[in-house]
Chain A
């Protein structure tokens, strides 16, 4: 069975602060993929990043960065110098590559950036 845990239900930060969203996953497979999605107040789900289990290199995209650590089964997401537009619910997700190919989502972390 696979599981994704986002222990932080809600986070509030003041604009320009850095914030890290935690994601811990469980899987028995050696090949899998991890994702982050953003759901702004408008409700749509926006794909942010995909990482496969063989690539532990951290990734940076503008103010966003992702830290993947297989040793701790974590795939954390950091927003640097947060902005009001970052306010959203963020979902971490896991896909196993074998047979039953579906994505398991965490319960989401609601981020509020206060101006």
Chain B
């Protein structure tokens, strides 16, 4: 009963470095999402996917790219990290956005110095 697994849990990057955050779900969910959480701003949607091979932009997509090559995986990439991308990143999935709540991963705390 793993649910949604995010790796890594913590990471420190230098400005300009790149990295990929991995999200994996074992619930056969169609929809997957990447959010960032910043103090006082709640959760903001970065990108989302409504199925394998599809991606779409959310509220704050700039500086991020995503891929959904396999249904169970949703990757979030930072090509050139900036201090403004210091945040906690949450991945979530759902079978159908109307049928129930999201299942969230445990989060990735990213610091860009």
Residues of chain A at the chain B interface (Cβ within 8 Å)? 4, 9, 33, 35, 37, 43-50, 52, 91, 95, 97, 101-103, 105-108
Contacts and interface: CB of A to CB of B under 8 A. Distances in A.
Interface of B: 31, 33, 35, 40-45, 48, 50, 58, 88, 90, 92, 97-98, 100-104, 106-107
Given A44-B107, A46-B104, A91-B43, 5 more contacts: A4-B42, A33-B98, A45-B90, A47-B104, A50-B100
A35 B23 CA distance: 23
- The A interface is mostly helix, strand or loop, or mixed, namely strand
B38 to A, nearest CB: 10
B45 A44 contact: no
A17 B4 CA distance: 35
Contacts of B45: 102-103
B103 A95 contact: no
Interface SS of B by simple majority:
strand
B90 A103 contact: no
B42 A102 contact: no
Nearest to A9: B40
Contact of A101 (B43, B44, B90, B97): B97
Nearest to A6: B42
B41 A107 contact: yes
A103 B34 CA distance: 11
Given A44-B104, A45-B104, A97 B98 contact: yes
A50 B94 CA distance: 13
A101 B106 contact: no
B40 A107 contact: yes
A32 to B, nearest CB: 9
Contacts of B104: 37, 44-47
Across the A-B interface, give the 8 residue pairs with the lowest CB-CB distance, nearest first: A47-B101, A45-B104, A107-B42, A101-B97, A105-B42, A105-B43, A44-B106, A43-B107
